[in-house]
Amino acid sequence: MTESSTVNHLVHHAAQSTPEPVARRVRGLSDRAIAWLFIAPTILLLLAINIFPLIWTIQLSFTNYRANRPNAAVSNVGLDHYASILSDPDVWHSMQVTAHFVLWTIVIQTALGFALAYLIDRKFRGHGFWTTVILLPMMLSPAVVGNFWKFLYQPQIGLFNYIVGFLSGTDPSSFQMIGDIRLAPCSIIIVDSWMWTPYVMLICLAGLRSIPDYIYEAAEVDRASAFRQFWSITLPMAMPFIMLAVLFRGIENFKMFDMVNLLTSGGPGSTTEVASITLKREAFEKWRTGYSSAFAIILFVTVFGLANIYVKALNRVKSR
């Protein structure tokens, strides 16, 4: 028996095994209806997993519901939660901590990421190997990264303290990265930058590789200096990609939770209490579900607004 006849045989069997009423029903549908039939499970799943919780959260944000008292009477409080969040100095402080964290991580990651991309783009010997090595931290889970950096930051046995002590000549156990009010924010910024600088490097590398060689050749003919080429060609042409990286990291760091929770849990005091940690405390320690729902909606609208800008920047890069 040839291969095609085997296939025909299988198809015939499959057609016969389809129940006749179902086959007739499907045969009678239009192409559009069949397309809807195929995407319906995905739409239903999206509605169940994304849209329904969002609508429920919006509804809860107008009530005094507490998840630890599911049988208690729930009353409508209108916009009270929103008003109290937007006038609460503690929440405002957590927003400032978030801003501090977002600002410094973006500055460090963009500067380092672009510098690394510029070096890798030189295509020196073994650049493929070094690219892989640089990309390794990005491939790890934030939970794993948080845990092993916690070990690295140990004052007695931590490698980070030992290296800093060795280079600066101080005693490694004389300072605590996670336990010190001044150093705790820096410790999170260092870990996040270590993990996500490779991502910024990748985006910047894509930008640098998209610049056509003939522009540099024309600049060489015009006797433009290396600095002039960098300032007038490389930087402006890679700028949309840099902006894309900045926006993406900004959005991601705005809702950063896992690494901060693992490293410091918002402490010491509230020095590293970013917005998502405050949200967790309100929702699962104080059990103020309605209040935390309103807070979640405020964060969601902010991230959604930033995501709109991100998509616009992405379209601009795509149209280049």
Site for other proteins, rule CB under 8 A: 82, 86-87, 89, 92, 95-96, 98-99, 102, 298, 301-302, 304-306, 308-309, 312
User: What contacts 186, CB < 8 A, 6 or more positions away?
Assistant: 177
Q: How far is the CB of 250 from other proteins (least distance, A)?
A: 9
Contact 26, 15 (CB under 8 A): no
For other proteins, the closer of residues 71 and 87 by Cβ is 87
Q: Could you give the maximum distance between any two Cα atoms of the chain, in Å? A: 83
Q: Determine whether 158 is exposed, middle or buried from the number of CB atoms within 10 Å of its CB (0-12, 13-18, 19+).
A: buried
For other proteins, the closer of residues 128 and 305 by Cβ is 305
Q: How far is the CB of 98 from other proteins (least distance, A)?
A: 7
- Measured between alpha carbons, how far is 119 from 117 in angstroms, rounded to an integer? 5
Tokens coding 276: 């998502």
Q: How far is the CB of 106 from other proteins (least distance, A)?
A: 12
Q: How far is the CB of 86 from other proteins (least distance, A)?
A: 5
For other proteins, the closer of residues 42 and 87 by Cβ is 87
For other proteins, the closer of residues 179 and 250 by Cβ is 250
Q: Determine whether 33 is exposed, middle or buried from the number of CB atoms within 10 Å of its CB (0-12, 13-18, 19+).
A: exposed
Q: What are phi and psi of 270, to 5 degrees?
A: -125, 25
Q: How far is the CB of 9 from other proteins (least distance, A)?
A: 53
Tokens coding 132: 């892989």
DSSP string, 71-119: TS---B-TTHHHHHHTT-HHHHHHHHHHHHHHHHHHHHHHHHHHHHHHH
Count other C-beta atoms under 10 Å from residue 311's C-beta: 11
For other proteins, the closer of residues 85 and 203 by Cβ is 85
For other proteins, the closer of residues 98 and 234 by Cβ is 98
For other proteins, the closer of residues 89 and 169 by Cβ is 89
User: What contacts 187, CB < 8 A, 6 or more positions away?
Assistant: 149, 153, 177, 178, 263, 264
Q: How far is the CB of 96 from other proteins (least distance, A)?
A: 5
Q: How far is the CB of 177 from other proteins (least distance, A)?
A: 24
For other proteins, the closer of residues 89 and 269 by Cβ is 89
Q: How far is the CB of 279 from other proteins (least distance, A)?
A: 14
CA nearest to 253, candidates 199, 182, 313: 199
User: What contacts 269, CB < 8 A, 6 or more positions away?
Assistant: 181
